[in-house]
Amino acid sequence: MVNRVILIGNLGRDPEARSLENGAMVAKFSIATSERYQDKEGNWQEQTEWHEIIAWRNLAERTEKNLKKGMTIYLEGKLTHRTWQDKDGNNRKTTEVVAEYFRIVNSRQGGTGTGNFPSEKDDPYNRNNNSNVSEAPMPTSSEEFTPAAADDDLPF
């Protein structure tokens, strides 16, 4: 079974980060994705979807330091659903994406993004370091690319 979300979108607000009582850091932000289509009359329409994102621990710290409203990012994570009671005792429900990896695609404010995605340093299979970016060069066409953990995740 797979629960994987991949988004490329623009940050709708600066991340809001805080530390919990147990010391874990959490950051929340939103990403807007857009889709263009032609309606029955042939007019172009644009539909924007907003996605609530949650990042934990080291990724939350990176989020707070590097992300700003308006930036375009590539994000991978998993879809989650939560229920809770608000201060008035009403039952509430929300859907969120728990971030596992992100990469800045570009920045409208001239930030650190290169606009060139993916780059040679990107390796979404190597997520054991704090930056979630591999320093290993991408394989050449004569080399076979086989992620080390790929066989470990197969259910058969």
The domain segmentation of the chain, as residue ranges, is: 5-116
| CATH number assigned to the domain covering 5-116 | 2.40.50.140
pLDDT tens digits for range 22-71: 999 999 999 999 999 999 999 999 999 999 999 999 999 999 999 999 99
Backbone angles phi, psi at 90, to 5 degrees: -80, 140
Q: For 127-143, give one letter per residue: b (16+ CB within 10 A) or e.
A: eeeeebebeeeeeeeee
In 3D, which of 7, 110, 108 has the Cα closest to residue 53?
Answer: 7
CA triple 27-15-4, angle to 5 deg? 60
Which pTM value belongs to this model? 0.66
Question: Is residue 67 exposed (0-12), middle (13-18) or buried (19+ Cβ within 10 Å)?
Answer: buried
